Structure formats: C-alpha cells, structure tokens
Structure 1
C-alpha cells in the first residue's frame, strides 16, 4: 500500500455557524441558562465542529483547541494558576472562578487581557507567582476521550507549549525565565504521559514564540525542554507547531528532539522555504507544512499551492509530509455557504474555515495521486482569483492616480505641538485635567432593535434618524449633568468602529455571517477590503454636527484610523497592505476636512490596533511603524492649528514603540492602563512625552463600577511622571458594551476623582 501524505488542521472556530457559542455564554452570564444546560450546548457545538472536520476528510483533527473563553486561560486553570484575589482553594477550578478571572467580579479585578501576537484575538494574561503550578485537570485528555468515545475520532490534542506560555505570562523577573519554564516541564510531562496511556498518537504543541525574534541561547532552552517531554511519553509523536512567521534559527529548531515540526509557508516572506532549500530537513522528522492561509479569507490559487508543495516535497518523503493551514482557523469565519447575497465574483474568491479544510484535503489528494481531481480544482480556483483581480473594484483609476501623487501631498501639521497647544487652549478654555470619554456610549438592546428594524425596512430612514437623534439628545444631557468637559455624540448609529466606515467607503464588502472571536464572547464581523478604497461622501458629519448644535461644550468627531481599519479587516492580498492603508488614509483625510468645515474642531482618529500589526520579527518593526505613522498623518494633517487631533490605543506594551507614538504628532493620545494596573505608566518614566495624554483610569471590559480610591490612585500614579497641564482623564476604551446605569455610575466616579485631583493640584500651587 502506498504511503500517504496526511492532512491536518491546527484549530477550528469555536463560535458556531450562527454564533451559538456566544449566545449560550451570554445567556449563562445573564442568569437565563443553568450551568448544566450551558455545558450541554457547548459540548454540542464542540462535537459538531469535530464532526465537520471528520466529514471533510481531515486525517489529524485537533482536540483541545476548543475553549469556553480563551485557550491561554484554559492553560492557566489547567495548572491551577488562579490569582489569590479570586479565593481559589485548590483542585479543579470551578466554572464560576474561570469566568471571574476573565470578566472580574464586584470584589476582584479581571486578569489583564492583551493581543495574541499580531492578531485581533485577545488572550487572558496568566499571572504567575501567587501559587505553585500543578496539573489540577488534564483538559486535553478529557477532550481527547470525548472525541473518541462520542464520535470515534482519535484526535490530535493541541497544547500551548511551556516556553510560549511562560513568555505570555507575567509575575516573574525576566532573569528567572528559564527557571520558570523548567518549573512547568514536569507538569507537561505528566500531561503527556496521561495522554499516552489513553492511546493518543499525535500531539500538537504550539510554540508560536519561535516565530518571533529569539536568540540561540533561548533555543537551547527549547532543546532541554523538549528532550524531557519526548522522554516522558516516547510513543507519542510530538509536533512542535509554529505559525505567523518564519522560525528564527531554522537549523536549531528542526533539530529539536520531536517527531514533527510545523512551519508556516504563508506568512514567512519565503524564509522558511528558503531555509528548507538551504539546509534541508531531518530524515527522522515529519514536516507539517502550513500552506493555506489561516488568517485571511481569500480562496487559494491551488496551482500556486501545488507548486509550493512540490518544492517542499523535494525535501521530505510522502510519509513525512503533512498538509495543513498555516495557523489555526480561529481567525476566520466558519463557512462561505451562508453568504449567498454576495456578488458572485467576490463570493467565488472567498474561502472561510470549512472551505480552507476542503483546500487542504484537495491538495493532499493531489499529492497522493489524485492528479485529475487537483487539475480540475486548480482551473476553478485560478479562474476565481483572476476574475476578482481583473474586476473594476480592484482597478479604480482615480484612486491609483492619487496613490502615485502621494509625494506631493502634505503629511505634516502646519505648526509644532507647542504652538498648536497655545491656540487650542485659547479656543477651548478647558480646565486642568479635562475629562472626556473614548467615543461610544451603551448600545442597548433597544438601539440594536431599532437598527435591525431599519435594516429590514420596517423603519423608514427618517424614523431611524429621528431615533438616533433622540439618543444623542439624551446622552448630551447626561454628559452635561455629569460635568464632562469634552463630549461625544455616542455612536449609536454605528454597528462597529470599522464596519461602519467600511459601509460608507467604496472597495469594502460585508458578509452576513462572517463572525470571528475577538475576546471572550465578543465576536466581530470584519469588513472585506476587496478593492480600491474610495471616499463616497461624508460619513460622520451629520450626527457629530447635530450633537455639537445641542451644547456649548466641544464635541469630538470620532473616526477610526487607517491602520486599525486595515488590521481589523480582511485585506485584499493582490497589492501591498501599506498601499491599502494609504488608500484608506486618503479617504479619511477628506472626512477630517469635512468635519472641520462643519464646525468640529476636536477630531479623534482612533488607532487601537496600531501595535497589534507589528511584525513578529523586530527587524521588520521599523518599516511597519514608519508606514503606520505616515498613514495616520496622511489622514490627519490637513487641519488648521486650532483643530485638536486626538487618537486612542488599547491593550499594548508601548515601551518599545514610544517613538512611533510621538511621531504620530497627535495633540492628545489616550491609552489603556487599568487592566495592567498602571504598569504602562513606566513607559513614560523612561521616555519624555510632551503632548497631551490620557491614561485610561478604569476598565470598561468589566461590569463593575470602580471605587473612587482606585481612580485617584491611577491618576496620582500617572501624575508622578506626566505633566498635569497635558493630562486628560478618561475611561480606557469605548463604553458600547456596558449598561446605561453602570456607565453613568462609573463616569460619576471618574468626574469626581478628576475634580478632587484638580483641587489638590490647585491648592498645591
């Protein structure tokens, strides 16, 4: 019998075709679903996901990638790593405690949340140091047994590797990193032994940290770690899985003592393939080749992928080759079949999770002698890709000409910040420590209901706009009563901070069910940038100008920045991402000018996703940051000196990019700091920042109302290193997901904390 190439998957979307997973979780949190019913629904979704992969012919089906909230949090609680503030007494972590870590309680602040490498997925940061780790529950083993017993699937358990897990954690000194990793090795050994005893054959251990910039000394720790793991469970075939970029020190990595190495041949800029050709591949190992893009939604040109696999096959025999996506499919929607309303040319060029699995299987069959099948599929896929590339949407003459003329487009403010600030202070007459919010106010069930009725045609546009104006009126009044200094209109007309803008710009398309998980039960439906980005008229002017007509306080115009729109969208892959960013920036530049012309002189252009787009390799950072800064300035520098430009960023380590933040030349920047308990402020202790800044003083991702002393502590901590004349006070993010009562209560606390601090500063003077 001919030895076959195998097909595999690294992970599958958790949310269900209709977001059943999200709905079940939120019903449980709202007290509308009992724990047993929740677990039953979740198990049904998980088993359905596994069945889909089996039906499509995937040979190595992942188990353990599924989660009730986050796979990094799963790893933490598997090892009993529950922060002391959650009053955990040992043993298997209760479901209530699991969710409390992620979401917080009235008594305990939630664990920090941050970006998963350079994606828009957020993970819960493990906290080490409160207690010694122990294997309190072998979750991969439970899911392995469930798949085998209920579906007859002998799955491939997926585990977050020890080196990456510790890298993503906090609560230890960097100098003790190797010792902390070694503390976990016996627990991973125990976990693998139990899987071996239960009959697991293949185990995928994810170590994406290997795609970042690592040193040869760090790779030595990998050798020591995986030598012990392999010896602990010698009959298990360990696949060390990397993704999101090429591996550093290829020769060292492929020589690690494991059975297989998983490499990304999509996002590696050709480096993994070049290393394979230069150094070859060990004859005693399996190469798990990631050739299908797991992070974007475009159909693969199967001819190109077949050529790539043919090159790879020169270095590995069929029995040592696995064909798979380049990363988990967590980052793409579930299936294209729910998008019949899309234009056929675009629809035929799309591939979501289910379709990507089919691409993997087709390519695998082609390598296993199915030349006829693969040739037919190559023809179909290539035609679909070419038709989209040749479409009018991807060939807009006006946009292409504007891109060619960028050298003659000014991307600098007319005056330096110090001069602008004097003019702005005179114009706005704001108090010391001005208070504001980040932009959105609660999108209640009624707001969503009215929008849905309008979209269905059950509410006329006039009636819908009247409803939105009533909401704006209400929240302008609330802001007046609260005593905020700079208002926002509340964004009630907006579904999503990126989707809303995409709906108003040419070159974007929207799916009906293209949801992906962002954090917890929060799902987003990224726009599809399929063509050239075209400004088609005012986007935000009507609502913002109306809000400004209701008050003498300044109202901020609220826009989403070009890099965030880029990073939070599915972006066309036929031109450079940086060219697409500049197309978006040119469109936003026209909107910024329109706001200014309509009397809006504080304009916030949010870039919360700026840092998450950083390449994993540090040597690639500067090119990205230069391009991001240029796009932001291209969008914002057409205004007069008196117009104040704000921006907002969230959940990032800013120390390493403080230079780029300053280069944005925004008059005011607001940054999250609450979940990191003020640690972000240290970035400004070592680096002078001489522009306006607001470090978010309370966490909006938790429903709890902060205590006054928490906010004054955060403010006082910031003012040790920041000039009070430049400091703003605001929440750490938008308030869209919060309830009305908790929003008003929290803002009351914030305004009072600002007043108290303002009075202390004035008395001290």
Structure 2
C-alpha cells in the first residue's frame, strides 16, 4: 500500500509530525435546510427543485466553511444533500424500489428499500456534490460513500440468490462511481460499511467487494474503510488483507476497551481513530482528547495516525458537534508538539506482522 497521507498535509503545517484531522461524514443540518426539504415536498408550496438546490448549496457552503474554521485538515460538506446513507444511493440505482418506512429503533424510521431487479448504474451519485464542495473548499475534500455490503445488507433482497451476489454487483457500481469521482479530482474516498460490525462473519465478502471497488483506482487515491462499533476481534487481523489505506474505527464510545485487539498482530495500515464520542452530547476537553489520541500511539506510529469523531455527528446539536471538532484539532496539534519535543514517545507494541 502506497503512502497517500502526505498529500493532505497543509503547506503551513509547522510541526514535524502530522496527525491528520478529519470527520467521518455526516454533520447536523441547519434547521432551515430541513424546512426547505419539507417545502420542496409540498405540492402547494411555491418552492421548487431549484430553490431546494440553492438551499442545499448554501448549507454545503456553510458546513464546509465550518469544518475549515474548526481547523480540520480534510473536510466534508457534512452530507448536506443526503437524507440517509442507504436510501440516498438506492434512489439512484436501477433495480431498487421503496415500499414505505420501517421502524428501526425508538421513534426512528428507515425507508428500507427492496432490490426487485438486477442492479444497474443509472445516474451519477456524488460527482456533482464533490465538485461543488471542492470548488468552495480551501482544504482537501473527502468523499464518504456507502459500501456495497451495507447497501445489500440493509435492503430487502427480492431479486438475487443471496446477499453475496448482490454485494458483488453493487461493488461494481461503486467502482464505476469512484472512477468518475477520481476523474473529477477526488483523492480521498471513504467506504462506509457499518453492516460489517453487525455481521462480522462476512468479512471475506467485504474483502472481495473491496477488491472490485479499487480495481484500476490510481495509487495516489486514498481509500479508507469506516466500520462502526462492533466486536472487532471477529474481523481482526483478517481486515488487514483489505486493499485500503486506512481503517476508521469507533473506539471512543467503548472507552477503548477493544484497543488491545489491534496490537497483535501489528496494525500495518493507517488507523483513523475515533477520539470523540459521537453518541454523547457533551464536548470533551482538549486534555481528554489528547489522552484519546495517545491511545492510538499504542497501536500505530504517528505517521500512521488519523483522528476523527467516532462516527457521523448528525444527531448532535450543531454547537456540540463544532466544539468536538475544534477541541479535537487543538488536541492533535498539541500531541504533535509533544512528539516533536520528545515529550511523548510512540509506544507501539512491536508485535509480529500478520502472516501474508
């Protein structure tokens, strides 16, 4: 795996060490954008698709700048144009249809789609979103995209023999979209596979799907994999064979009780470590986040470390989400200074690498 992290180091980054800061993806939407969506869906309202496009552009501009103001090295538009991580893509893939919302937990509903025919690539999914964000951003832009395993696992499969066959066909579509994103200039793409944490025995299917996804993707394009909280011991070290540059893992929410899982065998990829809890509506102190970042240095060397919130933060109050990001960036810069000054050493357990 080639080194793809250095290209995202800001030109004015003074520290010798570089712990890259970013977000997983989603961010709280401005309340007026939710109101704009309601108006656009109301046939009696004098509010059309063009008005919604303008509102979405304004929200993407606002949140991208908010990420930059917090100091992130790599930004996202907060997924302002997306309603949900499966539904958004299913609406753009031939072969899916919707039959109404399904209750998933509490008072939350998910418009779970059905695959009723062979899936086909119909329209571009994220290229216009990326091009707009890149045109207004002063920092590099990451593109999160829902992975094929989750797109299959979180849908009703009424057309394929099994979810494995569906996953591989969806992987080919994701590959097609990523090729278009790369042509548009994207150099950092994150595959989101939260379903892997809930069905870890299928890690081999995810690995095969990733091989299809990254086929012919240039070496300078950084590919990450985000996996939400689960029993990581059931997928490690097998995931080290996945063809990705970094693994984005949710560990702060579990108070790093699974950290030792990644120490033996040695973690050979980059680690995008969750250092703020996306499920808690309190802003962690800079000192606490520094301690969390230092947890990552027990697993990887500084040049392998990236930090972000545990997961998407769209359900948090916006001021809390911003506070977490701002403190996270300050903490990362403080840890870099400690490393530069020799006040802090990486304490990676030098276990043997995984067998090839």
Residue of structure 1 equivalent to 2:247: 669
For 2:162 and 2:299, how far apart are their aligned partners in 1?
A: 40
Deviates more, 1:651-660 or 1:491-500: 651-660
Shift of 1:707: 2.2
Shift of 1:465: 1.1
Residue of structure 2 equivalent to 1:732: 310
Q: Name whichever structure is richer in strand by fraction.
A: 2
**Are 1:515 and 2:102 counterparts?**
yes
For 1:629 and 1:549, how far apart are their aligned partners in 2?
A: 33
Name the TM-score, length of structure 1 as normaliser. Answer: 0.42
How many aligned residue pairs are there?
335
Shift of 1:473: 1.0
Shift of 1:661: 1.7
**Are 1:506 and 2:104 counterparts?**
no
For 1:559 and 1:468, how far apart are their aligned partners in 2?
A: 18
Aligned pair partner of 2:206 in 613, 628, 648: 628
Alignment of 1:57-206 (within 5 A): none
Deviates more, 1:649-658 or 1:456-465: 456-465
Alignment of 1:416-435 (within 5 A): 417=1, 420-421=2-3, 424-425=4-5, 427-429=7-9, 432-435=18-21
**Are 1:580 and 2:166 counterparts?**
yes
**Are 1:466 and 2:54 counterparts?**
yes
The CA deviation string for residues 709-742 of structure 1, in whole angstroms up to 9 with x for no partner, is 3212211122122211110010000011112111
Shift of 1:439: 0.7
For 1:697 and 1:551, how far apart are their aligned partners in 2?
A: 24
Shift of 1:602: 0.7
Larger Rg: 1
Structure 1 residue runs without a partner (length 5+): 1-416, 615-620
Secondary structure at 2:119 match in 1 = strand
Higher relative contact order (CA 8 A, sep 6+): 2
For 1:454 and 1:511, how far apart are their aligned partners in 2?
A: 21
**Are 1:700 and 2:278 counterparts?**
yes
Alignment of 1:256-295 (within 5 A): none
Residue of structure 1 equivalent to 2:190: 604
The CA deviation string for residues 397-455 of structure 1, in whole angstroms up to 9 with x for no partner, is xxxxxxxxxxxxxxxxxxxx1xx21xx34533356110000011103432222122223
Report if aligned partners of 1:684, 1:722 keep a CA contact under 8 Å in 2: no
Shift of 1:638: 2.7
Report if aligned partners of 1:469, 1:543 keep a CA contact under 8 Å in 2: no
Structure 2 residue runs without a partner (length 5+): 344-356
For 1:553 and 1:723, how far apart are their aligned partners in 2?
A: 24
Task: Indicate how the Cα distance of structure 1 residues 609 and 707 shifts in structure 2: closer, same or farther if over 3 A, else same.
Answer: same
Shift >6 Å, 4+ stretches = none
Report if aligned partners of 2:26, 2:314 keep a CA contact under 8 Å in 1: yes
Shift of 1:574: 4.9
Secondary structure at 2:39 match in 1 = helix
For 2:234 and 2:144, how far apart are their aligned partners in 1?
A: 27
For 2:75 and 2:221, how far apart are their aligned partners in 1?
A: 15
Secondary structure at 1:679 match in 2 = coil
For 1:470 and 1:556, how far apart are their aligned partners in 2?
A: 19
Residue of structure 2 equivalent to 1:540: 126
For 1:552 and 1:574, how far apart are their aligned partners in 2?
A: 44
Query: CA RMSD for the aligned pairs?
Result: 1.7
Shift of 1:678: 0.7
Residue of structure 1 equivalent to 2:352: none
**Are 1:493 and 2:81 counterparts?**
yes
Report if aligned partners of 2:250, 2:273 keep a CA contact under 8 Å in 1: yes
The CA deviation string for residues 453-509 of structure 1, in whole angstroms up to 9 with x for no partner, is 223344222211111111111112112211100011211111100100000101111
Report if aligned partners of 2:253, 2:310 keep a CA contact under 8 Å in 1: no
For 2:138 and 2:327, how far apart are their aligned partners in 1?
A: 23
Shift of 1:563: 0.7
Aligned pair partner of 2:237 in 659, 662, 665: 659
Alignment of 1:326-365 (within 5 A): none
Report if aligned partners of 1:586, 1:634 keep a CA contact under 8 Å in 2: yes
Residue of structure 2 equivalent to 1:742: 320
For 1:757 and 1:660, how far apart are their aligned partners in 2?
A: 30
For 1:474 and 1:444, how far apart are their aligned partners in 2?
A: 9
Report if aligned partners of 1:436, 1:730 keep a CA contact under 8 Å in 2: yes
Residue of structure 2 equivalent to 1:475: 63
Deviates more, 1:703-712 or 1:555-564: 703-712
For 2:155 and 2:301, how far apart are their aligned partners in 1?
A: 36
Name the TM-score, length of structure 2 as normaliser. Answer: 0.89
Alignment of 1:362-441 (within 5 A): 417=1, 420-421=2-3, 424-425=4-5, 427-429=7-9, 432-441=18-27
For 2:312 and 2:222, how far apart are their aligned partners in 1?
A: 19
Shift of 1:522: 3.6
Secondary structure at 1:764 match in 2 = coil
Residue of structure 2 equivalent to 1:557: 143
Q: Name whichever structure is richer in helix by fraction.
A: 1
Secondary structure at 2:120 match in 1 = strand
Residue of structure 2 equivalent to 1:712: 290
For 1:603 and 1:674, how far apart are their aligned partners in 2?
A: 23
For 1:672 and 1:425, how far apart are their aligned partners in 2?
A: 20
Deviates more, 1:447-456 or 1:688-697: 447-456
Residue of structure 2 equivalent to 1:567: 153
Task: Indicate how the Cα distance of structure 1 residues 481 and 692 shifts in structure 2: closer, same or farther if over 3 A, else same.
Answer: same
Shift of 1:573: 6.1
For 2:102 and 2:228, how far apart are their aligned partners in 1?
A: 22
Shift of 1:674: 1.2
Residue of structure 1 equivalent to 2:226: 648
The CA deviation string for residues 12-32 of structure 1, in whole angstroms up to 9 with x for no partner, is xxxxxxxxxxxxxxxxxxxxx
